[in-house]
Amino acid sequence: MANSSDKDRQHEAKQGSIAVGSFILGHDPEVVRVAAAAGLDFLIIDIEHGTPTQELVGRFVDTAQNLALRVFVRCSMEDLPFLGSLFDRGLDGAIVAGAETPEDVRNVIRTLKFAPLGTRGLNPFVPGTGYGTLDAATFMKEENTRTSVWIMAEKVNLVKRIDRISQLDGLDGVFFGPYDLSADLGVTGEVNNPAVTELIAGAVQTVTQNGRAAGIFSRDIEAARRWAEQGMSFLAVGFDWPLLMVSWKGIAAAFREEGREK
pLDDT value of residue 241: 96
pTM of the model: 0.91
Q: For the segment 93-124, what is each residue's pLDDT rounded down to a tens digit?
A: 999 999 999 999 999 999 999 999 999 999 99
Which CATH number is associated with domain 4-261? 3.20.20.60
Q: For the segment 117-159, what is each residue's pLDDT rounded down to a tens digit?
A: 999 999 999 998 999 999 999 999 999 999 999 999 999 999 9
Going from N- to C-terminal start, the domains of the chain cover: 4-261
Stretch 36-64: mean pLDDT: 96
Q: What is the DSSP secondary-structure string of 123-185? A: -TTSGGGTTTTS-HHHHHHHHHHHSEEEEEE-SHHHHHTHHHHTTSTT--EEEE-HHHHHHHT
Rounded alpha-carbon distances, angstroms, from residue 149 to 108, 110, 214, 244: 8, 10, 12, 29
Rounded alpha-carbon distances, angstroms, from residue 82 to 58, 79, 87, 230: 11, 6, 9, 34
Closest C-alpha among 120, 209, 215, 110 to residue 169: 110
Q: For the segment 223-254, what is each residue's pLDDT rounded down to a tens digit?
A: 999 999 999 999 999 999 999 999 999 999 99
